[in-house]
Structure 1
């Protein structure tokens, strides 16, 4: 049962993150895209920028500090490299973003968090 509850929370967090991105002028072009390297929660486009977005929700804002690590970001980056070939248009650029969610706090959007560690 815990796994199902976590799945529901994850999907809800992704819906909130997508809503937040749309309010900021992004268009969602993919959700939960799976590759052999891993999964990308959201892919958003604004102009010539494609953002591959990892969404993390925790029970408190303090817990968010440990929600993302190099290993997770490397997996998102590897998946983004695969998806890039399907989603990019000539002249596009890409970045890896993270959206952190905790009850009672606005979404925290961290842009361009991966630099090839």
Structure 2
């Protein structure tokens, strides 16, 4: 008899899969993944990617359908990613680098939606 997977573990598995897809998408677009699931006292950053002098701190969100994607990210979550990015910046940045906060939204049957530079310090 197959055991049911607890909801938290299932969500964790979906999140990891979404992060793998987002990393793949970024690499196809010329980005190098320099960090995954980077934890700080302020929160976690799902992916950190570099392209030239730009470091992108990326929040990845997956939803069951495309209609839910618009509700997947909010100001509070972005503020946590931005706070974590400020902490990580010091160990990842090179002289002359710039940074931004990005979001990648995923849903079955839809191409990844990459929203660049979504945080402007609200």
Please say whether Structure 1 and Structure 2 have the same fold, judged by a TM-score greater than 0.5.
yes
The Cα shift of 1:88 comes to 0.1
The Cα shift of 1:72 comes to 0.2
Which segments of 5 or more consecutive residues in structure 1 lack a partner in the other structure? none
The Cα shift of 1:82 comes to 0.1
1:43 equivalenced with 2:48 (yes/no): yes
Secondary structure of 2:121's match? Answer: coil
Task: Number of aligned residue pairs: give it.
Answer: 117
2-structure distance, mates of 1:106, 1:63: 14
Which segments of 5 or more consecutive residues in structure 2 lack a partner in the other structure? 1-5
The Cα shift of 1:9 comes to 0.1
Question: Deviation above 3 Å: which 4+ runs of structure 1?
Answer: none
Mapping 1:1-117, distance limit 5 Å: 1-117=6-122
The Cα shift of 1:83 comes to 0.1
TM-score, normalised via structure 2 length: 0.96
RMSD (CA atoms): 0.2
2-structure distance, mates of 1:84, 1:77: 10
The Cα shift of 1:60 comes to 0.5
TM-score, normalised via structure 1 length: 1.00
Larger radius of gyration: 2
